[in-house]
Chains A and B, each alone.
Chain A
Amino acid sequence: MNTALSAPAAAIFPESGLPVRKSVRRLRWFIAAFEHQVDEIAAETGNAYEINRNRLAATFVEWLRAFEAQKPSADTDRLPYVGFAAGLMLRTLVRQKPLTATAMPSACDRSNPAYYWPEGYVYVAFCLNVRALVLEQDFHEKQALVPALSEARTWWSFRENVAEDANLAIAFLDLFAGEEPNWTMPDKFQPGAVRALASRFYRQVEKGPKGLS
């Protein structure tokens, strides 16, 4: 696994007097943190990237709107909403495409996710790192990453599926973070009470996306 996805997230992002759950809702921090993430991965992989600031600002605005729209009121839903909000961020990055890889090392291994999809790799790393930092600061929880995060097959499926339906990015981020993905309605946050009720009425038949068995 590349260090960009296993290094302590706090070391990557800019200092802020606020907790990350609040900083990330500030445009200045969001842009600075994303740029730090890009620098980190560029240094690690040898890839060169170009950031479109207008698209990054559009990512922020669209994500914040989606974040506020489904923000739960119950305290018990705060923890699961962290992962969902990170997934919303990945969906918006995939849609807005604020990053372009302009060069890669000539002899790079294209089966490595960082070279297979260099932009997607940064998006995933950024969202996982923000997620990890909020979990750590607010809930004293450590984010678990799964081997799928380094598997070429998973990344192929991830790229193919989100190109057709960006909402699946939310489920894929759950998969990468070792959580149970919701493949059927990934863009709808299910508060605890709804989840509990649904499990009593319906048999859960979760069908994975194409390319993942």
Chain B
Amino acid sequence: MGLMPSALVLPLRDAARGVGTFASRSRRLLGPSAAHLPDPLRDLARRVIDGARRASEHSPFRRHPAASDIAAACDVLAGTLSPARGARPLAAVLAFALETGLRVEGRSVPLVSETVLALAAGDALRAAGEDTDAPMRAAMLIARLVDAPVAGAMPGMPLGLGTAERGPMEHVLVAALLWLLAERADPSTDEDELLALCLSLTEAAFGEIAPVLGDPEALSAELHRLADVI
């Protein structure tokens, strides 16, 4: 992707995500009626859908975030990297966390837009002062991203109507930000394992988090307390 204009990378990743969502939803739609289709037509439909799913999964635009992206996301949260340089890797990391977390929640995964994530995260980070600490930046990000249309149903698809539900989004965003706030003293940290742990921690502590979600000061204190015990 060395020759790709950087402004195109996020929209292309979103497009690849869209193809994947289209394929999985189409397969579910086809499910009940597939038995009534003539064999050649059914096989053709399945080949097209599976081909689209494979193309999306193996697209160079969609990948597990690199260690350097995760480090940059942690740095932008800590205030040691500017929003201009950090918003894109932060969006990539948050998109991965949202897809992982919402899948773990057992719901049909909404279509996540990395482009919208980068724009909304950039807004929230620019609004933070230089002396804002990492938990407060995390609280401001959660407040901004919950209200931004960062995830929703794919247009034109009759399954999974509506935008992503607020409850699961809040839950997964809190877990994602705790993941980025967690100490990484051990260089061999397994990031997938750490994210899974933060999802479990958020699940366990959500009774204490939910009442302070609308109060950035209190949320930041709660995030600080929880990040300290990860």
Contacts and interface: CB of A to CB of B under 8 A. Distances in A.
A75 B162 CA distance: 57
Contact of B203 (A25, A28, A31, A54): A54
B148 interface: no
A58 B196 CA distance: 14
A64 B201 CA distance: 12
A28 B204 CA distance: 14
A27 B229 CA distance: 6
B205 interface: yes
Contacts of B132: none
B228 to A, nearest CB: 9
B153 interface: no
Nearest to A53: B200
Contacts of A53: 196-197, 200
B123 to A, nearest CB: 32
Nearest to A62: B204
B230 interface: yes
A28 B200 contact: no
A26 B201 CA distance: 11
B205 A61 contact: yes
Contact of B197 (A17, A28, A58, A62): A28
A28 B230 contact: yes
Interface in B159-202: 185, 194, 196-197, 200-201
Contacts of B205: 61
Contacts of B203: 54, 57-58
Secondary structure at the A interface, as helix, strand, loop or mixed, is helix
B23 to A, nearest CB: 30
Contact of A57 (B185, B194, B204): B204
Interface string A59-88: 011101000000000000000000000000
Interface residues on A, range: 10 to 19
Contact of B230 (A27, A54, A62): A27
Contacts of A28: 194, 197, 230
A65 to B, nearest CB: 8
A56 B229 contact: no
Interface in B96-135: none
Interface in A29-59: 31, 53-54, 56-58
B230 A61 contact: no
Contacts of B196: 53
B208 to A, nearest CB: 8
B11 to A, nearest CB: 36
Contact of A25 (B194, B201, B229): B229
Contacts of B194: 28
A57 B230 contact: no
Interface in B29-53: none
26 contacts: A17-B185, A25-B229, A26-B229, A26-B230, A27-B201, A27-B229, A27-B230, A28-B194, A28-B197, A28-B230, A53-B197, A53-B200, A54-B203, A54-B204, A56-B200, A57-B197, A57-B200, A57-B201, A57-B203, A57-B204, A58-B203, A58-B204, A60-B201, A61-B201, A61-B204, A62-B204
Interface of B: 185, 194, 196-197, 200-201, 203-205, 229-230
Given A60-B204, A61-B201, 14 more contacts: A17-B185, A26-B230, A28-B197, A31-B197, A53-B200, A54-B200, A54-B204, A57-B197, A57-B200, A57-B201, A58-B200, A58-B203, A60-B201, A60-B229
Complex A-B, nearest 6 residue pairs according to Cβ-Cβ distance, in ascending order: A57-B200, A58-B204, A61-B204, A57-B204, A54-B200, A61-B205
